[in-house]
Amino acid sequence: MLAVVIALFLFAASCNTPAKETDTKTTDVSAVTTEQKQVIEQEISGLIKEFFQQVEKLDIETCMTYFENTPDFQAVNPDGTLGDYDALKKLNADGFSQMKTLSVVPTKEVIRVLTDSLVLYTFSMEQDATLKTGQKIKYEHVAGTMLFSKINGAWKATFYHESAAAPVAVK
C-alpha cells in the first residue's frame, strides 16, 4: 500500500514539473531580421510564381515537386475531402486531364513568415479553363493556403488547403 501511495505521489509530482525545453534549429519570427524576412519572402514569391506556371502548363509531375511527399503531408481539397500527397496528386491529375488550357490569375497573395523555416502562403485567384471538349469554364473564387517548411535547404509545401466555388460556364 505504501508503494502505491509513493508511486502516486511521484506521478503527481512529475505531472507538475515543467517540461524541459529542447534546442531547436528554428528561429522564431521575432528573432528573424527584416533582411532575412525579405529574403524568405522573395524565395517563396519566386517559388509560387514557378509553381503557378507549372499549374498553367497542366504538368502534374512538376507541380507535385513543390510538395513534400511524406506521410505527414496533409491536403484539404476543394470538395472538402482530406487527403495525403497521393490523393492530392490524383485529384489534380484527374482535373488536369480534362483540360486543354488553364490560366491562373492571382487576385491577392499574402506571405507570412512564421519562423526562419516555416512560411504561410495564402492566395485568392480566378482560373479560366478550356476543357478538351471545347467548353470554357471559369472558377471565379478560388482561395488556398500552403504551409512551407524548409527541408534540407529547400522550401516544400507540407500542408495545402484549397477552397473553390463551383465553376461557371463561359459562352
Query: Where do the domains of the chain lie?
Result: 34-170
Query: Would you state the torsion angle of the CA atoms of residues 103, 105, 111, 116, taken in this order, to the nearest 10 degrees?
Result: 20
pLDDT at 44: 98
Class of CATH domain 34-170: alpha beta
Distance CA 131, CA 133 (A): 5
pLDDT in tens, 80-92: 899 999 999 999 9
**Residue 25 pLDDT class (50, 70, 90 cuts):** low
CA distances from 168 to 34, 55, 95, 102, 127 (A): 43, 20, 15, 14, 11
Residue type, 13: A
pLDDT at 101 over 70: yes
Give the global pTM.
0.80
pLDDT at 15 over 90: no
pLDDT in tens, 28-43: 777 889 999 999 999 9
Cβ atoms of residues 47 and 151 within 8 Å: no
122-135 average pLDDT score: 97
Fill in the DSSP letter of residue 163.
Answer: E
pLDDT at 26: 60
Instruction: Calculate what percentage of the chain has a pLDDT beyond 90.
Output: 78
Q: Which of 1-5, 122-126, 163-167 has the lowest mean pLDDT?
A: 1-5
Instruction: Work out the number of other CB atoms within 10 angstroms of the CB of residue 71.
Output: 7
